[in-house]
Chains A and B, each alone.
Chain A
């Protein structure tokens, strides 16, 4: 017997994960409701996309809207570090020695992607565009509705929220939690496990008038995302173009540095960037136009990502670390892959846990690859630089940087090699990279859910 419900699918949260899944499902004719706690547009961290978002945007029919939305085009990524002057560059293949590594997306063809750029986005505008897009496809969207909890009954789930003094319960057949780092269901069902290794924090803001080419060696690349390494352990800065004149800048650091800052974000931010005088100088000549915003405790996994009548997508399922700008792409691709299982399950009439098996497998594999790539990056940074420069591995590393981790099987060869080499270096004190080992050390077992 089919239970009596208000909607087939109830989606909690209208960020990229929520509006993407709403778009896929509404387009296929399911009745969906999206409940978003904020009034859009609202500011949000996570402004630099990677190309794996492109096929998803194209699929749901939003790519042309985004392309015409005036978001800066992102053709590649670059890394800079403070070089000690005693390190010879020796005409190495990197275009300007060890000072930086860089990649351009056009160097590698990617299935489903016909453009050699992705975007940097003002998330206020981007998320609004996507949410309205899902509405145009038939999803019912309520903003300013903060969900309090989900009540699980046999066939029906009740999504509970308050309207004035009244408590309302919407009845749905399947709950998709896309509530981001609020992790509504993860907390309610006590599924959340803080990451034992990653404990990074970030402080970020926007600057007007920053000379983005000040640190770019090649002016053409001024609109790449820049990752500037600071000479402080595991600390780096992002530089992301938001408009012609506005640039998002954030410092990511270990929790201990962050705690020591005692919530004095301004002085902390300034002290951190001061360790790269060229960067500090460029920042002084520009004007800060948003308050400093801290982000913390963002690395975690979930014991389960789906169950009878519920599933988690995007940050609500997992987040590791922002170093490779993978967040929005994981949000949108997890939504895409979840929607395939949901549509299949809707036809067969039940949303039991077994119907989400493919989703779980694919998510675990993709996020597992990300996790490992990120761990190795922090553990042995020089390996990343060497692999980017090495013609044997460059394409494979680029594949990861493009976010192309969902539909192939197995893990990228470069990742396997990186893991082997890291082990060598760890075990052999005579290895020339041994003293480059970082302090973050990921457990060797597969990441848990």
Chain B
């Protein structure tokens, strides 16, 4: 899957399900954790969404700040995990 496609899906999810309004602009580098848009609890549900939508499990050891800093990092994480799945 393409970076842009994953990014788009994740952005939509955060806009609609986390911020509850499709109108708000979130950029790929908006600091989600720093600004409290994502917290450890809502990240857990994001992980469930990622599993359902992209078919990849985010292992607990990768639920770290570095990977969830912004939409760009989350997108990279998803793509990496998809790659790992394909290699197996």
Contact = CB atoms under 8 A, between A and B. Distances in A.
B65 A430 contact: yes
Given A93-B48, A389-B48, A390-B48, A87 B41 contact: yes
B39 A91 contact: no
B65 A421 contact: no
B85 interface: no
B26 interface: no
B64 to A, nearest CB: 4
Contacts of B45: 89-93
A332 B35 CA distance: 52
A245 B20 CA distance: 41
Interface string A25-42: 000000000000000000
Given A91-B17, A421-B61, A433 B40 contact: yes
A284 interface: no
B18 A432 contact: no
B60 A424 contact: yes
B40 A88 contact: no
A91 B44 CA distance: 12
Contacts of B68: 432
Interface in B25-62: 33, 36, 39-46, 48-49, 57, 60-61
A436 B40 contact: yes
Interface string A96-122: 001000000000000000000000000
A86 B43 CA distance: 13
B3 interface: no
A45 B82 CA distance: 52
Contacts of B42: 87-90
A432 B40 contact: yes
Interface residues of B, number: 23
Contacts of B33: 432
A382 B40 contact: yes
Contacts of A421: 60-61
A385 B47 CA distance: 14
A428 interface: yes
A327 to B, nearest CB: 31
Interface residues of A, number: 27
Given A86-B36, A91-B17, A424-B60, A386 B65 contact: no
A88 B60 contact: no
Contact of B63 (A98, A389, A431): A431
A435 interface: yes
Contacts of A392: 57
B2 to A, nearest CB: 25
Contacts of A428: 61, 64
Given A382-B40, A432-B40, A92 B48 contact: yes
B64 A431 contact: yes
A21 to B, nearest CB: 42
B18 A88 contact: yes
Nearest to B33: A432
A68 to B, nearest CB: 43
Q: Which of B60, B61, B68 has the most CB of A within 10 A?
A: B60
B65 A432 contact: yes
Interface string A416-445: 010011001100101111011000000000
Nearest to A94: B45
A425 B66 CA distance: 14
Contacts of B61: 421, 424, 428
A428 B42 CA distance: 19
Q: Which 7 A-B pairs have the closest CB atoms?
A: A92-B45, A421-B60, A432-B40, A90-B17, A430-B65, A90-B45, A430-B64
28 contacts: A86-B36, A87-B41, A88-B42, A89-B42, A89-B45, A90-B18, A90-B42, A90-B46, A90-B49, A92-B44, A92-B45, A382-B41, A386-B44, A389-B48, A390-B48, A417-B60, A421-B61, A428-B61, A428-B64, A430-B65, A431-B65, A432-B39, A432-B40, A432-B43, A432-B63, A433-B63, A435-B40, A436-B40
Interface of A: 86-93, 98, 382, 385-386, 389-390, 392, 417, 420-421, 424-425, 428, 430-433, 435-436
Interface of B: 17-18, 20, 33, 36, 39-46, 48-49, 57, 60-61, 63-66, 68
